[in-house]
Amino acid sequence: MVLGILGSGSGSNMQAILDAIADGSLDARIALVLSDNPDAFILERAKRHGIPAGVIDCGGYKTKFPEAAQAETARRLHDAGVELVCLAGFLRLVKQPLLEPFPQRIVNIHPSLLPAFPGLKSWKQALDAGVSETGCTVHYVDAGMDTGPIILQETVPVLAGDTPESLHERIHQAEHRAYPEAIRRVAGAGFFLPQRGASGVGWGRE
């Protein structure tokens, strides 16, 4: 499976995917890495692994993902032969100009057990709420914020004395296991994708 990675930060989840590819547990190839942050370390990771990489021009907007930028991103991914787009710490909301060219072909990893604690700093939300466990979720991306169908989740306990930093670190460790496994499931199912029916989410061919 040919992957495209979008990220805004260090790219540790991309590294976990690369490690799974290297050890033979994930049959995939990363064809392109794009970031909305020209200083993001994910671009350096790509360079070190010989992966084509580039910057997404968002026109100076700090959080908005302009439609023209999304359409250009979709074109670059398509030209690279990307089959599955993986958001790895990408901090902009994806909408139709990118969703339409890759229908049910975009996945994201989120640091909570969705639908609990969507949005930013989910680990801090979990601590503030006083829950006994949180975790991470890999899900298909739709036009909402962290609302797409779930592929898998991994639970992380909230420990006495946890700080936002310590909890976030353990969630990161879970993410590094969960993301390659989720991609394996998508690839192994031959893009059998979740369809919502009368009894909830089941599996069926697109």
Q: What is the mean pLDDT of each run of 10 residues along the chain (206 residues)?
A: 96 96 96 97 97 96 94 97 96 94 94 94 96 97 91 96 96 97 85 39 31
| Cβ(173)–Cβ(15) below 8 Å | no
pLDDT at 190: 55
Are residues 32 and 77 in contact, defined by beta-carbon separation less than 8 angstroms?
yes
| pLDDT of res. 188 | 78
Question: What total of structural domains would you count in the chain?
Answer: 1
Geometric angle at alpha carbon 194, from 91 and 110, rounded to 5°: 25
CATH at residue 187 = 3.40.50.170
Token reading at 146: 């962290």
* Confidence (pLDDT) at 189: 66
Pairing of strands 133-140, 106-110: antiparallel
Structural domain for 76, as ranges: 2-205
Q: Which residues are catalytic?
A: 110
